[in-house]
Structure 1
């Protein structure tokens, strides 16, 4: 398909969507614009009816075959499931959504709410691969239509409606657009629509670099095991069709961000701007920090891809953000088993140092005991002073804050 043909198809898809839901807002953000000395706009896909862009691809793929199908199937534990459920209800067709048994109840209930009586949910498998196999097997047995979350030309075309709206709302093509990347549907659609008319940054979570690795290998490859924290963009293998469209991008335009780092933007957007973003939805905004010199004076659009955030995760997000920012550390202290030792340690703390974790097991057969300690503070420099004080009284310690193996099991 030529670029002109794709653009026309994306515009047609966007027009059809207006019969179902309004365009999501494109809003200038003063905080970010001032901070980065640029004209920063947020494409607020978190404000769609299902709080993500996923219903776009589901709508477009379903409308193309709706005359010949009455049952649609997907495998998803998140935004794709909710988009499919919403569209099944809209079209009045039967949907079967396969989800892993481990899917949080909140996501299951939201999918039920969006789909109503039109959607049946099947919980199968501990891992997504098992769920996917079950969904595809069901399609073969029942003759149902499988709706891919990203690796489908009609889905890609539907996601390109984000770019159509950006161009119309901005009144021009932005100088630079920043996109989160998971399976590649949104980025492939946007890149196919805008082509070489603007600059791009494609942002992946550090624990799931499917696009970067595919570009390096010149083919989609499985990058398992992956870190699932950024669940909306944590994909082990980019789609074949999406990669075909993205294979020509400059590898230097693909960056990755650590999962802990993304949490700092989730918290800032929530606390300062009142914007609720899921981890994948914060990727594009966090990437601005890598691009200060590149985007200065330019018009930049960050796609906030989704806002399906489970607030039960907020303590974990805060924890990760503090650790990344250097405001929280965990260490194992070797504490002498003598009277006054604990008092000596406490004297090492400053006025802004707060103990958040303290686990001590005294063993009478030893001269020293191990203590797991967590400390929060207001300035990373406070830890230099604290550790210097601890060393001055002769105590040994091991900082385990960045030891992923230890923190996974003891924190």
Structure 2
């Protein structure tokens, strides 16, 4: 461990040749809410708006004779590698999923310029990873894993080195988002038992919990790609070796919709733009109130590469999770005045966000898709009570994933 800490310090020193330490900022809004000293380690303010530049920089500086680097990435690792390829005047071949947000693809091109070429392959990261590794074995070059690489993990540990220096001490808790496990493994290795580390995963990509439960990394049957910066189907082998003793209660899984509430709040209240993975650690504070009260807590905001074309979807998910927006199918009588009767049922804080006839040929009744927004979640209890009192038949489909895919 002494050797690791020496190497981590060397990695942190190497960062200074490329960019200054990312800020460690106390957040008064969150500190007041949770009765703790909450700090944000702003990795979203690195040159590539994520911590991934650290692992790429550290691994690539150790390959000074290499002229070709190959990687697979859901977006942030790609930008870090591209940035360093241009900085070091070497070539890079970068594989990204077809589903990668356009903002991340465009920024990768900007950072790498003529030094990189980009291949869009596969719908999921694991498919992209396999394609990149196959290309590298066939064409040559140094494959640079986004997380399953000792030098990458060492580079990510520079986050912890900075936190301790900036805080002047170690925090009581550090909250870490988890994808493939490289950053959480690096930070945990630096702090060791001096700090209580907590780990946050998206529910649709909870590969750390799966690995801890099985005793080894396992491939998830399905991955939700919404939290693209942490949507990994299998924890890395090297990260697992460093995280295999993590207690299961220290691992938190958050729904993708829930993460959206923090993205919206941080944007509206603090003016901080976070991507879904970057919001994981902040949203997890809500599950840790009893642990963190009166403590010093650092949340790693791991990335801010957010495509604002996704903002309507983020707002929609946040509203549905918060209970202020619901969708339902209404069986509306096909007679004059029926629509007016329905409108009279709406409360003073209710608003129609969607109204669409799904079946227009019925003589007596028609099926209508209704979306309602309101100010407070409890308004819906009164609204549905009024619907029941009027004898109107309806089905709440807000949380029906199958119907939502087709209708919402």
Q: TM-score, normalised by structure 2?
A: 0.98
Aligned to 2:77: 80
**Residue equivalent to 2:384:** 387
Task: State the partner residue of 2:225.
Answer: 228
- TM-aligned CA deviation for residue 200 of structure 1: 1.6
Q: Distance in 1 between matches of 2:358 and 2:70?
A: 53
Displacement of 1:180: 0.4
1:3-402 alignment to 2 at 5 Å?
3-67=1-65, 69-361=66-358, 363-402=360-399
The CA deviation string for residues 220-267 of structure 1, in whole angstroms up to 9 with x for no partner, is 001131111101111100000000100011111001111111111000
Question: Structure 1, residues 72-97: CA drift from partner, whole Å, max 9, x if none?
Answer: 01112300100000011111111111
Deviations along 1:288-313, one digit per CA (max 9) or x if unpaired, are: 01111110110000000000000000
Listed as ranges, the gaps of 5+ residues in structure 1 are none
SS at match of 1:65: coil
Structure 2 gaps of 5+ residues are: none
Secondary structure of the equivalent of 2:62?
A: helix
Q: 44-53 or 69-78, which moves further after superposition?
A: 69-78
Tell me, yes or no, if the aligned pair for 1:138 and 1:144 is still in contact at 8 Å.
no
1:311-365 Cα deviation digits (max 9, x unpaired): 0000000000000111000000111222211111111001111101001145454
Partners of 1:142 and 1:113 lie apart in 2 by 25
Equivalent position of 1:406 in the other structure:
403
**Structure 1 pair 162–140 and aligned structure 2 pair: CA distance change class (3 A):** same
Specify whether residues 364 and 126 from structure 1 end up closer, same or farther in structure 2 by C-alpha distance, changes over 3 A only.
closer
- Cα distance in 1 for partners of 2:154, 2:354 equals 50
Distance 1:305 1:44 in 2: 7
> What SS is found at the alignment partner of 1:347?
helix
Distance in 1, matches of 2:98 and 2:223, equals: 19
For normalisation by structure 1, the TM-score amounts to 0.97
Corresponding residue SS for 2:385: helix
Change in 2 beyond 3 A, CA 1:102/1:361 = closer
RMSD: 1.2
The worse-fitting range, judged by mean Cα deviation, of 169-178 and 380-389 is 380-389
Q: Against the structure 1 CA distance between its residues 129 and 248, is the aligned structure 2 distance closer, same or farther, given a 3 Å change threshold? A: closer
Equivalent-residue separation in structure 2 for 1:172 and 1:126 (angstroms): 43
